[in-house]
Structure 1
């Protein structure tokens, strides 16, 4: 019995001691693909009682395994060499016995850097770079570059991105190393390991309010009039109000439409809409990546109060020529890309143009010939977008490029009439557009430092022309001009500047960004009115001319620094500071804008984030309507008005309960000051020379909650976005205190679902709901008080307590679309798209008719004009 008890005791003692050092070494060899070299006389069968080593990086596992042993280790490539520890003999101050001081091994660290491109050498943004051994990772930047600092020795890197096949690369780190990675597309591959696989996920990114889109997110089965649209996709994001129906308006967290910064390859785009908001100015065929921020702005972005949209276009295929042709209901698109010098220089060219004028011109020409009416009306409209880009691959560390964009809208109305010997010719022209040029170079200066230097030029113009010519027809039918009225309004802004951005990766736990910009602004708003009155030669004639213009030059300097670092495995922080200086007509403004974001990883699938953002805006668009009209002015801050200023607090909870499901809940509070708006009595377009005397200075505040949910599983993709928000304005001139904004939509819901039945057929549906916009109506009647010397008999006047005091009916609609895909006989992909806007034909309010009843009350009736709109398009990819 004693022997049995002794054996049982020894068995449990062996369990308590666990594995031996030799057994743990065997595990490390299998996992890390290394092997040990040591003296055969070493006793390695001693027990190991420490922590589990399977999940640790190699150097940590070795340090822990040999810490309390008689052996030290060193690494040469994939070889681990063991040796006896050197002992230093000293005298203890207490018992004077020898004291052993082990030598601590400090591993060397090196930078692994390079560029990630697809199979056609197109740089890829936000690719996950992950070290399987040490479990650290990073993301490729806007140029496809990455940097990862690793310990000396063997490592296995994983490169993954949604829609591309994963690449595993074994490397032996013995010094700084440059590697370039190519990823192949795989449409059937869906990366569902979001916790460790997608460092750009809202769960892991430091910023609040950030959304990332690729071209696939815009080219869905549904698009208005079968034309994909960037801004209408952004309108579906929580916290964003869309404004007027069909318009590509963007009102983010209670801001105005001019408070959104749109960057196209680093150049600001001032005019983002076509057709008075029907389409946005971005051709989705050339877009590679879009990053949208509604809070938590990084320090590098300056100049707007409400949102940032950073759009990057394709660099072009370095190896093959291919393109896309698409014909929709109102417009057509064409794009082509390929190599100029294979693997060295590439080009990409894209053109989108409306084709309505192709049919309108001959139609009205034929109609005029066969018309027997005295009056004849005609109109013509066209718009286009053109993008071009050339990229030159200098070497494995550097690229140069030139990017060009041009967009234009041209709208003409003609009205000719003849009656009772009189003739009238009336013309209305609207014209607006933009031209953007960027010339830049991005370079990997060292294994840890990247740079992008850009020269930028932007030109934006808008204008209207009105021409009214009247004639009398004499007895011999020769015309005799009686009067001529001409009105001309024009506004332009030109930017010329230089930008420099640097990105430094000292460790895997830290990223430092810094840089600056210097920009010249040229503003030129003009208004002109002419009136000429003619006679038959026997009377004096009269004429008048009013002309107003304002030409201003301004300089804007921006500097920023940002430190994105991890305090621990669970806690990461992004701290930034932006400095801007703006000089205008003898006045110089200086502003410091701090930025702060932090993330705490509560669990692997749960994180908590918060941010504080302060921003300054020196440029303003003075608008008389909620639409982007060619009568709007872009103007600078002057000595009469302070620059716009805003601060915003945001916090959120991000939960990933299952690999298919992601849930987010965010809240925000925002305050703004020095918001400019036309006084309501100033008309459509006041004189340009005194615009800063015709605007009012106000404040704004907005707050709310935003919930987002997404479910991605196999063939089904479903997204839900809900917003509960409040938006208010306060202009002292009105004397009404705080009042609700025109687009204070208390509730907003967006639900969309995409189902892929097969590789040839897919379907999409999206439902939109939001509380109605607001208008101003009189509350009651009041008696006008008598004034001395005036006999007004106590006139009854309408009284308006506050602006925007009445809510319109709620807005809702559903859109559906299907794609039919097939391969042509030549192997090209062709797509037929059928889309239906407002499928159940709900006429949402666009106009309100107010009638005063006999009993003194008011009746209001809302009118809707946008019915169900079907459309079809055909796309060929070659």
Structure 2
């Protein structure tokens, strides 16, 4: 029996050895993609005959993607778990899995610029995805990216709207700089794309922001065929115009001075031409436009309601090209190209109206009127190396209006000559120098020096010349009125990405403000018989320069924790003026949680402060509107905004969003009852009151982002009001804000038929704003002393709501390719069905005379004046045609 047992044991040992040798010699083909641990285990068990044993503490950090041929089980497991906290041991026909500490990985950083292959223009917001580890980033405002990943095999996928995806695979063994040039996909000419899901909308951490597509700006039908950035922004939810057809912005219940409009990072004080009919921005000069309505990143400050961040083209470093346009109102030309190929490029855009030239032949020789405006955008971009770049940018814009009149009377005994005139100029001058430098693969630096000047000058005067026989008398009066702002600024900004899950931005700036609210100087000269009787200069208004020093410091971190992402930051500011300091710490917080790949919810809290005010009583942008800073008596405006939103992208080519917001505003200004601004800042502090405001609303947006038909439908339900508890305004009671409009519906669509034809349509509906109307006025004539007394009865501030307004615009583009370029004809009709939308509203009077006979027999007379609201429509149905040659 013993001998039999020994033989059985010996056979078993030999069999086990043979089995182990067979298992070790077993070679398998295994291919899995994004497999869970359970899926991978089942596959290996099926192919190898092994069974797995492991506990609940064993888990994967990332799904397994593996493709091997003729590998042993041990080699397969080694490859599958090399980056996972999982160890293994083979025991006969079992595989034991256990949790193990990961070896410390070496991590390296990849960075570089992403540019257009044909022009070397940097691409803002290009996406970079590492395909093996499923992590990624995107380029900043200068086309620079940085991404830190473990050493080993790397697969980088670079993508951007309208460009082919480029994939780069290599073994990462050290910090590496990889400049990437993407190739434009010409096949997309007929397939318009307005959004990139990977970096915007549902996938972005922040909310209440929109990347405004340049294609949409160019194709949206506009007044006189003049594509306009600000009017396109007015079609987005939460944004409205003060006056139909004008380019002013009123965002989430805020005023026009509460918008921070940045041109390459420099604030623009006056963004309008032709009293607000057009904005100063030409689409050909722009590269990217982003609107922030809330959830402001910590790098932005100084305004309460919105930020419009405009980035201009850097210039083509490879070849020359441009456009030339001729319209009914303006002509413009855009040109860019290399100064030194692959090193230095320029970009220039010029626009000018020619109403003054066209009208000159039809004007009376004794009466001359003139008006024009122009814009000049210029930029030079020099590349020292892959790490260092330098930019010089310049903007000059001006509106000019003039009037002259000559009158002459001649008699036998005398002659009389009289002439008068007015010359009005206003506009912006902006110059900036910017240097970008990559300190290392994780730290990007930008230094900016800038000069910003807004100026308004008005000259008026008249001259009388009397000649009697041989005598002669001359009287001359001249007046010069001037207002403006000078800003000198320096700024340093850093982008630091220590880890793909952390993207830090921090920086500081200093602005030196010189406010010149008003200076008015007049000169009177009298001559008699060529002898000067009087020659005097008067200073009628001289408020003197008001100096302001503004310092700021900010930091923000965009943190990614799987489906949960947070952008947290703070903006510190200090404003010094007239010996008084105002300090503000403004926290910013935005959070996003992805319920699924197609559904996300977001929330935000933002605090903002503002140190400048715009003095104006008109709904139209007038050049006499004045910017003034806070003072010892007028405190900075401040706001707290809360927002909550939901986003859905489950339908291919569509994006849906809904946002609700609530905003409190503190120390907002309104004119006291009976006071107004009449082109003079004198004593303005005594005419205004500080109070509080609130704004709330819900915004819906459905956007078609790809295909031959693109566009959006936007609806806003909103309410905004003010309260001034000291009693000088509306007796201290709450009243609606003058631009409080309950319902706003905007429809904007573009359809491309083929490479030659496309059409754009926009339709706008708004409920009316509010105005203050005297409900009754009575003038009484007393016969005893022949005096009249009158009273107005105004029950409340902004007590009358204007009627609703609506408007339809249509534009058609036709393109024809030629040997040396493309001819483009645009035919647009503004206000197609001639809706009589009011641009201006004022009170008209109906006079009713009454009389009775008193018991004493004396007659008693009185006059009743009834107020009627009168509407004036400045922009009826207006067709236009524009020709553009693109070369």
TM-score under structure 1 length normalisation: 0.85
Report what 1:641 is aligned to: 634
Asked whether 1:748 is paired with 2:733, we answer: no
Report what 1:109 is aligned to: 107
Q: What pairs up with 1:415-564 in 2 under 5 angstroms?
A: 415-418=405-408, 422-475=416-469, 480-481=473-474, 484-528=476-520, 530=522, 532=524, 545=538, 546-564=540-558
SS at match of 2:231: helix
Assess, with a 3 A threshold, how the Cα gap between structure 1 residues 169 and 469 changes in structure 2: closer, same or farther. same
| Residue-by-residue CA offset, 1:341-384 (whole Å, 9 max, x unaligned) | 111111111111112222334543xx42xxxxxxx432111211
SS at match of 1:524: strand
| Residue-by-residue CA offset, 1:41-75 (whole Å, 9 max, x unaligned) | xx965245889xxx98879669xxxxxx9889777
Which of 669, 675, 678 aligns to 2:668? It is 675
Asked whether 1:869 is paired with 2:868, we answer: no
Asked whether 1:391 is paired with 2:381, we answer: yes
Report what 1:579 is aligned to: 572
Shift of 1:198: 2.4
Shift of 1:470: 3.6
Which of 822, 828, 851 aligns to 2:845? It is 851
Report what 1:153 is aligned to: 152
Shift of 1:529: 5.8
Report what 1:168 is aligned to: 167
Report what 1:725 is aligned to: 718
Q: How far apart, in 1, do the equivalents of 2:387 and 2:744 lie?
A: 47
| Residue-by-residue CA offset, 1:791-818 (whole Å, 9 max, x unaligned) | 9999552111222211122111100001
Q: How far apart, in 2, do the equivalents of 1:750 and 1:497 lie?
A: 38
Assess, with a 3 A threshold, how the Cα gap between structure 1 residues 761 and 190 changes in structure 2: closer, same or farther. closer
Which of 352, 367, 379 aligns to 2:369? It is 379
SS at match of 1:565: strand
Query: Residues 557 and 580 of structure 1 are in contact (CA less than 8 Å); yes or no, is this contact kept in structure 2?
Result: yes
Report what 2:187 is aligned to: 188
Query: Residues 192 and 659 of structure 1 are in contact (CA less than 8 Å); yes or no, is this contact kept in structure 2?
Result: no
Assess, with a 3 A threshold, how the Cα gap between structure 1 residues 830 and 629 changes in structure 2: closer, same or farther. same
Unaligned runs of 5+ in 1: 1-19, 32-42, 63-68, 88-98, 369-375, 785-790
Query: Residues 195 and 204 of structure 1 are in contact (CA less than 8 Å); yes or no, is this contact kept in structure 2?
Result: no
Query: Residues 162 and 190 of structure 1 are in contact (CA less than 8 Å); yes or no, is this contact kept in structure 2?
Result: no
Which of 382, 398, 417 aligns to 1:408? It is 398
Q: How far apart, in 2, do the equivalents of 1:151 and 1:74 lie?
A: 17
Q: How far apart, in 1, do the equivalents of 2:717 and 2:132 lie?
A: 44
Q: How far apart, in 2, do the equivalents of 1:21 and 1:330 lie?
A: 84
Shift of 1:27: 1.3
SS at match of 2:639: strand
Q: How far apart, in 2, do the equivalents of 1:479 and 1:813 lie?
A: 60
Q: How far apart, in 1, do the equivalents of 2:804 and 2:445 lie?
A: 49
Shift of 1:419: 5.8
Query: Residues 161 and 191 of structure 1 are in contact (CA less than 8 Å); yes or no, is this contact kept in structure 2?
Result: no
Shift of 1:619: 1.7
Query: Residues 112 and 178 of structure 1 are in contact (CA less than 8 Å); yes or no, is this contact kept in structure 2?
Result: yes
Query: Residues 619 and 635 of structure 1 are in contact (CA less than 8 Å); yes or no, is this contact kept in structure 2?
Result: yes
Assess, with a 3 A threshold, how the Cα gap between structure 1 residues 384 and 49 changes in structure 2: closer, same or farther. farther
| Residue-by-residue CA offset, 1:484-510 (whole Å, 9 max, x unaligned) | 554432111111111111111122111
Q: How far apart, in 2, do the equivalents of 1:22 and 1:116 lie?
A: 47
Assess, with a 3 A threshold, how the Cα gap between structure 1 residues 199 and 417 changes in structure 2: closer, same or farther. same
Instruction: Choose 835-844 or 152-161, whichever is displaced more.
Output: 152-161
Assess, with a 3 A threshold, how the Cα gap between structure 1 residues 74 and 415 changes in structure 2: closer, same or farther. farther
Shift of 1:659: 1.2
Q: How far apart, in 2, do the equivalents of 1:313 and 1:195 lie?
A: 19
Shift of 1:541: 8.0
Shift of 1:430: 1.7
Report what 1:739 is aligned to: 735
Query: Residues 74 and 105 of structure 1 are in contact (CA less than 8 Å); yes or no, is this contact kept in structure 2?
Result: no
Report what 2:42 is aligned to: none
Assess, with a 3 A threshold, how the Cα gap between structure 1 residues 536 and 152 changes in structure 2: closer, same or farther. closer
| Residue-by-residue CA offset, 1:454-509 (whole Å, 9 max, x unaligned) | 11111111122222334445346x76335x55443211111111111111112211
Q: How far apart, in 1, do the equivalents of 2:692 and 2:575 lie?
A: 21
Query: Residues 463 and 631 of structure 1 are in contact (CA less than 8 Å); yes or no, is this contact kept in structure 2?
Result: no
Q: How far apart, in 1, do the equivalents of 2:100 and 2:603 lie?
A: 44
Which of 749, 752, 776 aligns to 2:772? It is 776
SS at match of 2:296: coil
Assess, with a 3 A threshold, how the Cα gap between structure 1 residues 102 and 829 changes in structure 2: closer, same or farther. same
SS at match of 1:709: strand
Report what 1:825 is aligned to: 819
Instruction: Choose 730-739 or 847-856, whichever is displaced more.
Output: 847-856
Q: How far apart, in 1, do the equivalents of 2:128 and 2:60 lie?
A: 19
Report what 1:806 is aligned to: 800
Asked whether 1:666 is paired with 2:659, we answer: yes
SS at match of 2:201: coil
Q: How far apart, in 2, do the equivalents of 1:192 and 1:27 lie?
A: 37
Query: Residues 210 and 294 of structure 1 are in contact (CA less than 8 Å); yes or no, is this contact kept in structure 2?
Result: yes
Report what 1:310 is aligned to: 309
Report what 2:855 is aligned to: none
Q: How far apart, in 2, do the equivalents of 1:586 and 1:379 lie?
A: 46
Report what 2:334 is aligned to: 335
Report what 1:91 is aligned to: none
Asked whether 1:200 is paired with 2:193, we answer: no
Asked whether 1:288 is paired with 2:287, we answer: yes
Assess, with a 3 A threshold, how the Cα gap between structure 1 residues 781 and 154 changes in structure 2: closer, same or farther. same
| Residue-by-residue CA offset, 1:663-696 (whole Å, 9 max, x unaligned) | 11111111112223455535522255x4434433
| Residue-by-residue CA offset, 1:622-661 (whole Å, 9 max, x unaligned) | 2232222221222221111111111111111111131122
Q: How far apart, in 1, do the equivalents of 2:877 and 2:87 lie?
A: 81
Assess, with a 3 A threshold, how the Cα gap between structure 1 residues 25 and 298 changes in structure 2: closer, same or farther. farther
Q: How many residues align?
A: 812
Instruction: Choose 594-603 or 713-722, whichever is displaced more.
Output: 713-722
Shift of 1:836: 0.8
Is the strand fraction higher in 1 or 2?
2
Assess, with a 3 A threshold, how the Cα gap between structure 1 residues 777 and 471 changes in structure 2: closer, same or farther. farther
SS at match of 2:257: helix
SS at match of 2:595: strand
Shift of 1:710: 0.9
Instruction: Choose 464-473 or 349-358, whichever is displaced more.
Output: 464-473
Assess, with a 3 A threshold, how the Cα gap between structure 1 residues 771 and 47 changes in structure 2: closer, same or farther. same
Shift of 1:216: 1.9
Query: Residues 436 and 446 of structure 2 are in contact (CA less than 8 Å); yes or no, is this contact kept in structure 1?
Result: yes
SS at match of 1:219: helix
Query: Residues 83 and 102 of structure 2 are in contact (CA less than 8 Å); yes or no, is this contact kept in structure 1?
Result: no
Query: Residues 85 and 102 of structure 1 are in contact (CA less than 8 Å); yes or no, is this contact kept in structure 2?
Result: no
The Cα RMSD (Å) is 3.7
Q: How far apart, in 2, do the equivalents of 1:197 and 1:774 lie?
A: 39
Assess, with a 3 A threshold, how the Cα gap between structure 1 residues 479 and 730 changes in structure 2: closer, same or farther. farther
Query: Residues 615 and 677 of structure 2 are in contact (CA less than 8 Å); yes or no, is this contact kept in structure 1?
Result: no
Assess, with a 3 A threshold, how the Cα gap between structure 1 residues 801 and 782 changes in structure 2: closer, same or farther. farther
Q: How far apart, in 1, do the equivalents of 2:33 and 2:153 lie?
A: 11
Q: How far apart, in 2, do the equivalents of 1:131 and 1:571 lie?
A: 19
SS at match of 1:692: helix
